[in-house]
Structure 1
Amino acid sequence: MNLENIPEYLKENASWCLWKYETRNNKEIKIPFNPTTEVCASYRKQKGKCTSHQIKNSQVEEILLREIRKVTAFAKYHEQEFVDLVLKKKTSKLNQVLRSQKKELEDSKDRIAKLDSIVQNLY
């Protein structure tokens, strides 16, 4: 299961976990797995089990499928609005990357200018 496909509102809620199987002493056991921390908090404290904050893979898959259906239905019936939302999100991300790269470029230019000054002062 790809954890990147889990909706943000579920990933932000660290009060649930999944199960993964591990083999120990030639026996397959279920280990609670929190996708945010990668280890269940109660398991990390050596309790060895999760309490009421567990969710089965099948339930996560149901939630994901329901969310995918909502998004595809929205895209189907509100195509232009969906395209606008996607473009807005993409543009926002690109602008963020561009700002970051511009800052890095300015910092590099400043550093080069300082190095040039140091080299000129040496000679």
Structure 2
Amino acid sequence: MTYLFVAAGGALGSTLRYWLSGLIAGAIGQSFPWGTLVINISGSIVIGAFATLTGPDGRVFIPGDWRQFFMVGVCGGYTTFSSFSLQTLTLAQEGQGLWAAANVVLSVVFCLIGVWLGHVGAVLINEGV
């Protein structure tokens, strides 16, 4: 049954990623993969908060299947590491090495900050602050 939950969550997350990425590309342009960057950062914040809020010390109880639905399915379908990798390679192959490097640094740094912020925010919620 967990596989069905993950599959449904993945469909939802992938659809959300496709919609938001298109929205951002339409608003900002496609010279840099801003949509992927925003999606990976926001996904990192969300999964950091959710994992902490619903973890063993969290304030929110979520049954295992539903936790997998959201973390593996929705967040896994929403975030885009494979897209990030391909877009970075494409930038490098097109002679835009500086943009490729910027994409790697910005993605790694801000996604790590995002997951940490999500975690810290959830810890504060768990502590009732």
TM score, norm. by length of structure 2:
0.26
Structure with the bigger percentage of strand: 1
Taking CA–CA contacts closer than 8 Å with sequence separation of 6 or more, which of the two structures ends up with the larger relative contact order?
2
Structure number with bigger Rg: 1
